[in-house]
Amino acid sequence: MPFKRSATACLALTILAGGAFVATHVIGAPNPQAMPQATPQPARIVTVPGMAPVVDARNVYSEIGPSHLSPAVRGDLQRIYVPNLRSNDVSVIDPATMKVVDRFKVGTSPQHVIPSWDLRTLWVANNAERRNTGSLTPIDPRTGKPGPAVPVDDPYNMYFTPDGKSAIVVAEARHRLDFRDPHTMAMQYAIDVPQCGGINHAEFSIDGRYALFTCEFDGSLAKIDMVSHKVAGYLKLSMPATRVREGADPRIPGADEVCSSRKGMPQDVRISPDGKRYYVADMEADGVHVVDGDNLKQIGFIPAGLGTHGLYPSRDGKLLYIANRGTHRIHGKRHGAGSVAVLDFASGKIVARWTVPGGGSPDMGNVSVDGKWLWLSGRFDDVAYRFDTQSGAVTQVKVGGEPHGLTVWPQPGRYSLGHTGNLR
């Protein structure tokens, strides 16, 4: 609010070194800090038709707090579902006992366990790498049991349109997004994304008008117009000057090297609470790119750790948990330099770093209902990790071969946008 002169209130200017100035109170003038200040309210977000309203424009995560469990998930089992890429099965962990209580076969190469838009089905995306036998296996969250698989072409990952009318199967090898009926998976239409090699992870704008998809093998992003159903543009991500040297412990001085990689390997992507920025995990760059999605422009970079991969907001929307796989390689070794970095959204600073004793490979997962635990798959160590979100202490549970996109269930929220539980 601009300052207005009056007979009873005025300011004096004090010149500082370098020509800057500060305002100081004139004796007898009222103290503006003592006067009530109106908190500016953000403008109401106008969403696409059919999308649920944005409750708090300052915090898109306002509806995923611990007290916001939907009636739709009432009676669902509390379980951790872990898809094991190499053993073609799903391990089911009871978080109360920290034991695997079930394990069942699914299709070939299960990549992620994905909550449906209506929160009533958990879909296992079996993309059958280099084959044409891809499928989606439904899991009933009330019983924890799988149903018959649905044949689907190349389902590496899956998302849902904000209005819930379509499932978006990310056909990575086809450079294509397949929009399907969210229940039967019957084909509706497709969007070709030819300049997005390795299309895999996504995040939607606060109003649902567009989505950003990462292009893992092109080091770029693809912006998809969700209203006109077309590609709105691409953004090549810039690499940092330095990164962590392969095999080095990031905690030890001298672990950095000159970044000679010409393009990144972007993975997960998440939106800031106010919807104005996107954080893009990059396995080659060892950190998160900060992107202005509206203008499709890179505006920053934050180092996070070796092999930055998965991104998960805290239940209050104040922190972003960043999983670092511990390698730049797609196929890493056991007991690597994996870690978790904790980003404060407000300051843009890393406020904590958690390591795995003896080494590890934190990959993908999500946060428990109460926000006390961060569950992540141990991609190259055949385990699931449970991190204490206060102390960073970690407990491990042995699972199947090469666990990937695990999900925690149930989760709070009104609807799911897909992946391992991008709820709002």
| CB-CB contact of 140 with 123 (8 Å) | no
pLDDT recorded at residue 234: 98
| CB-CB contact of 354 with 360 (8 Å) | no
- Residue 102's pLDDT band, with cuts at 50, 70 and 90, is very high
Mean pLDDT over residues 265-278, rounded? 98
Distance, in Å, from the CA atom of 105 to the CA atom of 352, rounded to the nearest integer, reads: 38
Mean pLDDT over residues 353-372, rounded? 97
Beta strands in 273-318 (DSSP E): 278-282, 287-292, 297-303, 308-313
pLDDT recorded at residue 239: 95
Distance, in Å, from the CA atom of 27 to the CA atom of 14, rounded to the nearest integer, reads: 14
| CB-CB contact of 306 with 244 (8 Å) | yes
pLDDT recorded at residue 36: 58
Q: Dihedral sign, CA of 61, 64, 65, 71?
A: positive
Looking at the DSSP bridge assignments, the partners of residue 122 are 115, 139
92 has pLDDT over 80: yes
Among residues 348, 273, 366, which one has the least CA distance to residue 317?
A: 273
Distance, in Å, from the CA atom of 221 to the CA atom of 236, rounded to the nearest integer, reads: 7
40 has pLDDT over 60: yes
pLDDT, one tens digit per residue, over 134-160 is 999 999 999 999 999 999 999 999 999
Distance, in Å, from the CA atom of 206 to the CA atom of 53, rounded to the nearest integer, reads: 10
Distance, in Å, from the CA atom of 120 to the CA atom of 24, rounded to the nearest integer, reads: 60
pLDDT recorded at residue 43: 81
- Residue 38's pLDDT band, with cuts at 50, 70 and 90, is low
310 has pLDDT over 50: yes
2 has pLDDT over 90: no
Q: What's the half-sphere exposure (Cβ side, CA atoms, 13 Å) at 316? A: 7
pLDDT recorded at residue 249: 80
| CB-CB contact of 320 with 345 (8 Å) | yes
- Give the SS3 label for residue 320: strand
- Which tokens in the block code for residue 329? 């390689």
34 has pLDDT over 70: no
Q: What's the half-sphere exposure (Cβ side, CA atoms, 13 Å) at 30? A: 10
Please tell me which residue, 359 or 41, carries the higher pLDDT value. Answer: 359
Distance, in Å, from the CA atom of 358 to the CA atom of 377, rounded to the nearest integer, reads: 16
Residues contacting 398, CB < 8 A, separation 6+: 100, 382, 383
Q: What Å distances lie between residue 375 and 47, 271, 348, CA to CA?
A: 31, 20, 23
pTM for this entry = 0.89
DSSP 144-211: TEE---EE-S--SEEEE-TTSS-EEEEEGGGTEEEEE-TTT--EEEEEE-TT-TTEEEEEE-TTSSEE
Mean pLDDT over residues 271-286, rounded? 98
Among residues 298, 293, 297, 178, which one has the least CA distance to residue 240?
A: 298
Mean pLDDT of the chain: 91
Residue 80, amino acid: I
pLDDT recorded at residue 243: 94
Distance, in Å, from the CA atom of 113 to the CA atom of 123, rounded to the nearest integer, reads: 6
| CB-CB contact of 315 with 64 (8 Å) | yes
Residue 379, amino acid: R
Q: Over pLDDT 70: what percentage of the chain? A: 91
Q: What Å distances lie between residue 157 and 202, 405, 406, CA to CA?
A: 9, 9, 12
Distance, in Å, from the CA atom of 322 to the CA atom of 287, rounded to the nearest integer, reads: 9
- Give the SS3 label for residue 347: coil
Mean pLDDT over residues 375-390, rounded? 98
- Which tokens in the block code for residue 285? 């760059």
Distance, in Å, from the CA atom of 202 to the CA atom of 267, rounded to the nearest integer, reads: 9
- Which tokens in the block code for residue 71? 């009636």
CA dihedral 312, 283, 152, 149 (to 10 degrees): -60
Distance, in Å, from the CA atom of 384 to the CA atom of 381, rounded to the nearest integer, reads: 9
